[in-house]
């Protein structure tokens, strides 16, 4: 392994009846570009009595990006947004100064069926000047994202800029998120196509990067932009994340991200004292952890 690279293994935990593998943050690397948190949800099957229910909880100082391969998630937030997201869609909630939201299996699917579910939730830290902005929510359906082929590879630009394309999703700092799927074995040349730190997440299959082989459930981080070519086995799927690092360090506590430690303390007190905005008609409440 080269000195400018790190290999990360998913760490599993259970969230809302669902097995989740966490890739970021970890001890030696807190961020990749502006990305501060990456959870791999599934793949798994949701069954009656065990559908996904993430009750009302808060965020500050970040944007949450939800991207699914299978299944559906129903989003509601305290700014009044309501959206059901399916495979290939992008949901992008920017918390700014403070928002609460829920994520649930849609009501129309809770009819006793089993539901396959698989995807990622990613947190993107906001630049200092945007940390206290008004909350917003964007929804981009799958068919609106830039999609193209390079030989045996199918490529989708989910967010930001890369490969000469620009996603319609509005982001707040230079970044990229790219979904690459290999119909047959092939090579992905990323030299000059992506700017900033690069994380290569193997969703399924395997990829070879010079001397390193990366398997499903692993993430390879390159701290420079000198990644050149990735050899993808047939059936492999990759997510590429990254971008320009934010100039200031970021601090995290639970669902809060900020450039100021004292802001995290304010947010903790506000949530404990029920001062965050609420979702209309929803009285659920997830307390601060232990």
Give the pLDDT confidence of 219-239 residue by residue, as tens digits. 888 766 656 789 999 999 999
How much of the chain exceeds pLDDT 70, in percent?
88
Report the predicted TM-score, pTM, of the whole model to 2 decimal places.
0.91
Indicate if the pLDDT at residue 159 is higher than 50.
yes
Indicate if the pLDDT at residue 241 is higher than 50.
yes
Quick one: pLDDT band at residue 78, thresholds 50, 70, 90? very high
Q: Are 140 and 168 in contact (CB under 8 A)?
A: yes
Quick one: pLDDT band at residue 117, thresholds 50, 70, 90? very high
Give 157's contacts (C-beta < 8 A, 6+ positions apart). Answer: 145, 146, 147, 163, 165, 166, 167, 176, 177, 178
Say what the pLDDT of residue 17 is. 42
Beta bridge partners, 180, equal 155, 238
φ, ψ (nearest 5 deg) of residue 269? -65, -40
CATH 3.30.70.141 fits 5-243, yes or no: no
| Mode of pairing for the β-strands spanning 147-150 and 18-24 | unpaired
Q: What's the distance, CA 133 to chain centroid?
A: 20
Least confident stretch, 66-75, 97-106, 202-211: 202-211
Average pLDDT over residues 136-147: 98
Say what the pLDDT of residue 221 is. 83
Average pLDDT, the chain: 90
Query: Domain limits of the chain?
Result: 5-243
């Amino acid at each position: 392994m080269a000195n400018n690279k790190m290999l990360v293994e998913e760490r599993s935990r259970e969230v809302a009846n669902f097995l989740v593998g966490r890739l970021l943050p970890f001890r030696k690397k807190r961020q990749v570009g502006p990305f501060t948190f990456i959870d791999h949800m599934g793949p798994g099957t949701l069954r009656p009595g065990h559908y996904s229910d993430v009750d009302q909880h808060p965020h500050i100082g970040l944007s949450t990006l939800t991207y699914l391969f299978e299944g559906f998630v129903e989003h509601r937030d305290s700014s009044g947004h309501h959206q059901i997201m399916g495979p290939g869609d992008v949901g992008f909630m920017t918390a700014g100064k403070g928002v609460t939201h829920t994520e649930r299996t849609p009501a129309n699917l809770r009819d006793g069926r089993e539901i396959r579910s698989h995807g990622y939730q990613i947190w993107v830290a906001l630049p200092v000047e945007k940390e206290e902005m008004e909350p917003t929510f964007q929804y981009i359906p799958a068919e609106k994202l830039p999609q193209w082929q390079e030989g045996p590879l199918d490529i989708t630009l989910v967010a930001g800029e890369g490969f000469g394309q620009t996603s319609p999703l509005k982001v707040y700092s230079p970044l990229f998120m790219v979904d690459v799927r290999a119909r047959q074995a092939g090579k992905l040349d990323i030299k000059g196509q992506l700017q900033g730190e690069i994380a290569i997440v193997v969703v399924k299959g395997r990829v070879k990067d010079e001397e390193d082989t990366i398997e499903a459930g692993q993430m390879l981080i390159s701290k420079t932009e000198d990644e050149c070519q990735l050899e993808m086995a047939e059936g492999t799927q990759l997510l590429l994340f990254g971008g320009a690092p934010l100039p200031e360090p970021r601090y995290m506590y639970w669902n809060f991200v900020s450039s100021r430690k004292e802001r995290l303390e304010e947010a903790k007190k506000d949530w404990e004292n029920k001062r965050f905005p609420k979702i209309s008609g929803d009285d659920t409440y997830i307390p601060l952890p232990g």
